[in-house]
Structure 1
């Protein structure tokens, strides 16, 4: 088996685990924010915080071991697109609220029979490629031209510390806060989901950085993210004879398959559609905003919230804050349009 085939199979496995775990637990950033704001239930939010901590600790451990150089990822760049990055995060977060879930959540819901998510995914994938290389690419490049050079690309570099030290402090605090909740500790479905999904981030770095390493044809270093990969998956479905299956597409396929299998196992597969044309329009606009914003912010609630965060990139910290703010505006702000 070649190194590229090994990466594809590993990506499929990672996707299967993610899809099955997310379907079983309801793991989702937007859902966690909804539950926290509208019912005071913090279990989903603590699960996401735990996943952030595990992803951070595992990824920095890989970096400290020398097996993977996180500095080679797309997140750790010294140039900050100070206009495009936060604007993209706001658009993604607000679109996530409109569509009632991010791209990863849409894949899981589709695997459970939610046909609304199919519309979200198609709009997200098309919009992502419109911004990456289509009619909106010139606008993106113009927005990215407003940039500045940072004194350091990551928080540890800025503080002059080894990466493992801030990771140990921040990751430990996130895990401690997560397990400080009595209801969370009594909900193994949530804390196991946080542990498992968080661990999939360093597993993905290892897959692309170690299993995918080759002197002549290296696989691009990447971890979990679900904006450009969804667009890439749509493109692969149409042009598979002229392209090569890669890590990103195999993860997307694995998530969908894992969600289907878990939904069938739990007898939770039910076909659902839109309640009204307005509902459909909200999903279309939400998916489109997520595709546009996710490309501009270099990731989604998973791509930046877990993978980007695990590098402690300064740009990722800004993107995560922008996504959270955009989601809050969509859920519980003056521009609120989302139902809990």
Structure 2
């Protein structure tokens, strides 16, 4: 079937179609589960039991477990993936993760969450997402690029074995799969105690499966394609910047997985919101609120490009293949988000996000 698609659509078209399809699954599942790293971190930091941390754990454990199961079965080899094979930066991972974690609290959502909320009519998220994409592109090739390169050069790490935590620890794919199953069991236990509704855990599992599906799909295409194509999974920093560039400059670059991913996520989230009657226009409430969102979006755009991944790109996709820089980024995101929430929104009863469908009212 994959060869047939390659013959009919070409390699770029096949990748874009796969990205769009997996994006629709992610967008639909993320919208229904209210998947959000920011809410999970704040809930943990405030010692609350609202189900958002459990939803994130379901997605995390599923992404890691499904990806490692594919690798263990011999259906996936991420050794040539950029997150492992290429030279990385630990200083960029740490500083970028700190900036991104701070930014997602200020903007009240990470990059993927902003895209999902924009699809259901949240104009605050739409504006923030555009600023995020512009800043990411500036950090990649524009005015902020020299600063990003300087910070990245402070502490680098060689590609291959040094970035591969499975190789360094010796636990292998079997050990990584066991690690994921332990966390999945913990998520199931907490879901029962907290009475997380079906859409919470089922949608989160869909998010995790989307990550594994992207790894498998891009690997499968790379095996049969004539031209070399990167093995990758879901991320929203680079893809958002690429889509924005294509829209503004009518780029004639070949299609790619990223070109289909962002529109696919938007469509999936829109369909979920429309089907369940949750489309609603929302705007800013005062200048102070707008300033906060703008600063947060800028921090996330620069931080995500500096770290080489966002809350999904590093927190799920990179963590699923146990690349060292992704785990540094994820840890920094958690620490910065918790600290920022404590300093700016430290009251114990601030709003987190939309409640999971079927759960009680959001705080």
Which range, TM-score by smaller chain? over 0.9
CA distance 1:337–1:228, shift in 2 (3 Å): farther
The residue that corresponds to 2:234 in the other structure is 224
The residue that corresponds to 2:103 in the other structure is 95
Shift of 1:79: 4.8
Task: Tell me how far apart the structure 1 counterparts of residues 228 and 90 of structure 2 sit (CA, whole Å).
Answer: 31
Shift of 1:219: 2.2
Shift of 1:74: 2.3
1:169 aligns with 2:178: yes
**Cα pair 1:32 1:42 within 8 Å, conserved:** no
Shift of 1:132: 0.7
| TM-score, normalising length: structure 1 | 0.93
Pick the aligned partner of 1:256 from 258, 266, 272. Answer: 266
**Cα pair 2:69 2:177 within 8 Å, conserved:** no
Task: Tell me how far apart the structure 2 counterparts of residues 4 and 123 of structure 1 sit (CA, whole Å).
Answer: 27
1:69 aligns with 2:77: yes
- RMSD (Å) for aligned C-alpha atoms: 2.1
Shift of 1:59: 1.3
1:9 aligns with 2:3: no
Task: Tell me how far apart the structure 2 counterparts of residues 148 and 23 of structure 1 sit (CA, whole Å).
Answer: 36
The residue that corresponds to 1:302 in the other structure is 312
Unpaired segments ≥5 residues, structure 2: 1-7, 352-363
Matches within 5 A, 1:22-171: 22-38=30-46, 40-77=48-85, 79-149=87-157, 152-162=162-172, 164-171=173-180
Task: Tell me how far apart the structure 2 counterparts of residues 62 and 218 of structure 1 sit (CA, whole Å).
Answer: 21
**Cα pair 1:57 1:167 within 8 Å, conserved:** yes
CA distance 1:21–1:82, shift in 2 (3 Å): closer
Count of residues in Structure 1 that have an aligned counterpart in Structure 2: 338
Query: Tell me, what secondary structure is at the counterpart of 1:152?
Result: helix
CA distance 1:91–1:217, shift in 2 (3 Å): same
**Cα pair 1:7 1:212 within 8 Å, conserved:** no
Task: Tell me how far apart the structure 1 counterparts of residues 309 and 346 of structure 2 sit (CA, whole Å).
Answer: 23
Shift of 1:216: 3.0
Task: Tell me how far apart the structure 2 counterparts of residues 205 and 78 of structure 1 sit (CA, whole Å).
Answer: 17
Q: Write out per-residue CA displacement over residues 22-77 of structure 1, whole angstroms, 9 at most, x where no aligned residue.
A: 11221111122334445722422112112111111221222234433212222225
**Cα pair 2:101 2:335 within 8 Å, conserved:** yes
**Cα pair 1:213 1:219 within 8 Å, conserved:** no
